[in-house]
Amino acid sequence: MAHGRNAKGGRSTPPDKICETCGRPFSWRKKWERDWDQVRYCSAACRAGRDNPDFKPR
Ligand SMILES: [Zn+2]
């Protein structure tokens, strides 16, 4: 899992998070570099899904 991604002296990527909608872990992406602190869903579908009570992942 934690497979030596942090090169010494370089920038390491933040740890994985768990999606609040589907409960699966997802990894940091470049597009989230500015607001990773606020990212709580693995995808747009999951972000939309949290507002939809009928949404059922898997
Ligand atoms: Zn998700």
pLDDT band for position 13 (50/70/90)? confident
DSSP helix, strand, coil percent of the chain (3-state; round to 5): 20, 5, 70
Calculate how far, in angstroms, residue 29's C-alpha sits from the geometric centre of ligand 1. Answer: 14
Q: Can you give the pTM of this predicted structure?
A: 0.64
Mean predicted confidence (pLDDT) in 16-44: 94
Q: Which residues surround ligand 1, an ion (CB under 5 A)?
A: 19, 21-22, 42, 46
Q: Which residue has the higher pLDDT, 52 or 36?
A: 36
For residues 11 and 34, which has the higher predicted lDDT (pLDDT)? Answer: 34
Q: Which residue has the higher pLDDT, 7 or 18?
A: 18
- Ligand 1 center to residue 51 CA distance, Å? 13
9 CA distance to ligand 1 middle (Å): 32
Q: Which amino acid is at 4?
A: G
Q: How many helices (H) and strands (E) does the chain have?
A: 1, 2
Rounded to an integer, the average pLDDT of 40-56 is 80
CA of 3 to the centre of ligand 1 (A): 23
